[in-house]
Amino acid sequence: MQLSDTNVQVRDAARAFAESAIRPIAQELDAEERFPSELYAEMGQLGLFGICVPEEMGGPGLDTLAYALVMEELSRGCASVADQCGLIELITTLLVQHGTAGQRGRLLSDVMAARTWVAYCITEVEAGTDVAAIRTEAVRDGEAWILNGSKIWIHNAPVADVGLVLARTD
């Protein structure tokens, strides 16, 4: 397979960042179980978050191969740092595909820049991560939604500014 010039540039930028900024502190991050917000802010400035967000929505509009290359290179530095990148890609994809125009306008650029942290609330005691089996419900109440249910193992919960909750509606 031949990589495009863009994919080579993205891969090389992610590799250089992983080698210079992530790898030297990887052991410390894992030992301390620390959320490296300063590292994520730099990754946001480099455009490593929201790789597949379309240009018309403020993203780089790259393909899934570019995303996979970024993940591979970041994982060389520290898997938990790469995991955060993967989570942000998931969240931005959900916003692009299912968010309202208002939600995208309020959140996308700040999530990609690591200025806003989103808690990813999916896992339940009974259902695990089987989205077909979730029990949390969201019921419309005027302009608001009432949530009823519980989640466990919530990604980014300690640092989150906003939560993305997977719930059933009728």
Own/partner long-range contacts of 25-29 (Cβ < 8 Å, ≥24 apart):
25/78, 26/77, 26/78, 26/81, 29/78, 29/80, 29/81
pLDDT for position 169:
95
H/E run at residue 88: helix 79-98
Instruction: State both tokens at 47.
Output: 């455009």
Per-residue pLDDT tens over the stretch 27-71: 999 999 999 999 999 999 999 999 999 999 999 999 999 999 999
- DSSP helix/strand/coil, 128: strand
DSSP state of 3: P
Neighbouring-strand partners of residue 164: 120
Provide the sign of the torsion angle of the four alpha carbons 90, 94, 96, 101, taken in this order.
negative
Per-residue pLDDT tens over the stretch 1-36: 899 999 999 999 999 999 999 999 999 999 999 999
Domains in the chain, please, with CATH?
A: 1-116 (1.10.540.10), 117-170 (2.40.110.10)
- pTM (2 decimals)? 0.91
pLDDT for position 26:
96
pLDDT for position 170:
84
